[in-house]
Amino acid sequence: MKRKMSMLLMLVLVFSMMGFGFAAEDDTVEITIFHTNDAHARVESSASVVGYAKIAKLVNQEKALNPNVLLLDAGDATHGQTIATLVKGESIVDIYNAVGYDAMTLGNHDFNYGKERVLQLEEMANYPFLAANVINEDGTPFVERYVIKEVGGVKVGVFGLATPETYYKSHPDNTKGLKIENPIETAKAMVAELEGKADLIVVLSHLGLEPASEFTDRMIAYQVPGVDLIIGGHSHTRFSTGIVNNGVTIVQTGGYNESLGRIDITWSGGEIAAVKPYLIPAASVADLAEDETVKNLITELKGEQDVVTSVVVGSTSVELIGARELVRTGETNLGNLITQAMLHVTGADVAITNGGGIRASIDVGDITVGEVSTVLPFGNYIVTKSITGEDLLKAIEHGLTDYPNQMGAFPHLAGIRVQFDPSKEVGKRVVTAMIDGKAIDPAKSYLVATNDFMAAGGDDYQMFKTYPEAGLFMALDEALVKYIKEVGVGSAAVDGRIKVYDGPAIETPTTPVPAEPAAPTPVPVPEGQATAYTVVSGDTLSHIALKHNTTWQKLAEYNKLSNPNLILPGQVILIPAM
């Protein structure tokens, strides 16, 4: 009898130990994963930003109801606002530690302080930095490849993927000595490694979903069997309830902490029974009390910096436009102000800077050092190079490659006026390019001021890379402060430096065309609700908005414009009644 009892106890022990490694198949476990991406150091709660004090509150509230909770970030966290850039990301790590993040992957902008700083920040963090496809020259991992978190008996394996675009979407010097390997092949290897260790496999990805990208989250979903969930970033794509590709759920919140992502996963019978992703936008938590610990930490961090950031350097009577969707698709008054500042401090013939480097707008009123730093947070300095007209034209063509889609390489200019035809093939879109009223001479050399990021081939401006530096100047944000102090903002405006060609037809049409263009079809306008405005050459949506005491955002929404920067002469814009 004792022997039978001993055997029974042994069997119970063996089976209990076998069940220890993975979740029991007959158990149902509810798991919640909160996630953020592309916050770019938007830390404070506001009408449009959830903020980390409210994120902490939401996460802690859920943990009180169900402890099976993870909090993950898909990259571009440690850079972008003055609170981060003044201390090279340390403040963000402090905040993430306080909020209780479980892991983050490395976005391209997380490399902006250099690879050594990434490792320093990782040492400060109470959570791992993940990037399985980033390796050192000797083949060793640059940071952790993956982490396994056990929640409710379910082992969740999370591995990180960095975008190879980091090579040129951070300063090229920041990744020297590192290799960013093929994300698809890396993901296959990681799944093979984790399948014996984890129940659930999550990709924490900074690849994004831009069709122009070489590698995307959709490719991972279709080409890497065994992935259960992809939490993404980089493309600032907003999915209210996620998407499903090839049976794999892909989520992304948009960016700037405008929403917190939440995924509720039901694990039952040893597999995923349900995945329910959704967003928690800032407006939905407007009345939520903030977590006091995190709120006080942010207040303390900002207070330490106020002495520097609150200094007023000038003022503006118009909004200086730096919205992402506008600076990446067309000329703006802020882009013009920045490039004028570049000419002012260098004396160059031409200035060119990338729209992706302009990170925020400046409201009407006083302009502070902190606001300028927020607009230009990368610490780039101004470089001059003597460049042939041929390569200057190639540079402008490159910046127009993806027009009218958003592109960080879109060129903002001074000293040159460009008209282009987006209907032409890529590389042949520039119709006119004039310096001092004369067409660019391809054989002539021009002194060009740009930022050191582009000068080194950043945003794929490879044509600049081979030219030697003619001069080194101050940081871009310092140059803008200097210009505002010495020259002022004035009535900063869009003046047609780079615009869609509006001259006579370039090619002879194959069908007869009336001598006079047909008048635009009248748009019925309900009385008392709106007025109609017909676009003229040189107009921009922001310019029209200023004329009518409204905002370009309201006009874009009211007129259902998919690209607010693409408006054409003759087009009718409805101005809503105030």
7 falls within a domain: no
* Helix (H/G/I), strand (E/B), else coil: 267: strand
Read off the CATH number of the domain in which 542 is found: 3.10.350.10
- Note whether 277 and 383 are same-domain residues: no
Q: Do residues 226 and 331 share a domain?
A: no
In CATH, what number is assigned to the domain containing residue 261?
3.60.21.10
Are residues 459 and 419 part of one domain? yes
Residue 7: pLDDT over 50 = no
Res 68: pLDDT: 98
Distance CA 399, CA 427 (A): 10
Helices (H), 46-140: 52-65, 82-85, 90-99, 115-124
192 and 328 fall within a common domain? no
pLDDT tens, residue by residue, 436-473 = 999 999 999 999 999 989 998 999 999 998 898 888 78
pLDDT at 327 (0 to 100): 97
Average pLDDT, the chain: 88
- The residue with tokens 């993956």 is 146
Amino acid letter at 45?
Answer: S
pLDDT digits (tens, 9 = 90+) for 211-267: 878 999 999 999 999 999 999 999 999 999 999 999 999 999 999 999 999 999 999
C-alpha closest to that of 494 among 382, 413, 375, 430? 413
What is the pLDDT, as a whole number, of residue 3? 37
Residues 489 and 480: their CA atoms lie apart, in Å, by 10
Residue range 266-285, pLDDT digits in tens: 999 999 999 999 999 999 99
Q: What is the Cα–Cα distance from 158 to 150, expressed in whole angstroms?
A: 11
- pTM comes to 0.70
- List, as one string, the DSSP characters of 527-564: TTTEEEEE--TT--HHHHHHHTTS-HHHHHHHTT-SST
472 within some domain: yes
For residues 126 and 52, state if they share a domain. yes
Residues 388 and 423 in one domain: yes
CB 403 within 8 A of CB 327: no
pLDDT at 80: 80
Q: Is residue 520 part of a domain?
A: no
Same domain, 152 and 214: yes
Domain extent at residue 116: 42-302
pLDDT at 506: 52
Query: What is d(CA 170, CA 454) in angstroms, rounded to the nearest whole number?
Result: 10
Q: What is the DSSP letter of 460?
A: G
Nearest residue to 360 (alpha-carbon basis) of 400, 332, 379, 381: 332
**Cα distance between residue 493 and residue 526, in whole Å:** 32
Are 401 and 421 in a shared domain?
Answer: yes
Tokens of 26: 């007959």
Q: Count CB-CB contacts under 10 A for residue 458.
A: 29
Q: What is the mean pLDDT of residues 98-103?
A: 99
CA atoms of 268 and 159, how far apart (whole Å): 23
Residue 8 domain-assigned (yes or no): no
In a domain? residue 295: yes
Query: What is the model's pLDDT at position 175?
Result: 94
Q: How is residue 213 written in tokens?
A: 């990208």
Q: Decide the pairing of beta strands 129-130 and 103-105.
A: parallel
pLDDT digits (tens, 9 = 90+) for 517-572: 343 343 444 444 577 777 765 566 656 765 666 776 677 777 877 666 566 656 77
User: Distance (Å, rounded) from C-alpha 415 to C-alpha 417?
Assistant: 7
Average of pLDDT values for 402-423? 95
- Annotate 350-375 with b (16+ C-beta within 10 A) or e (fewer): bbbbbbbbbbbbbeeeebbbbbbbbb
Does any domain span residue 339?
A: yes
Assigned domain for 162 exists: yes
Residue 85 lies in a domain: yes
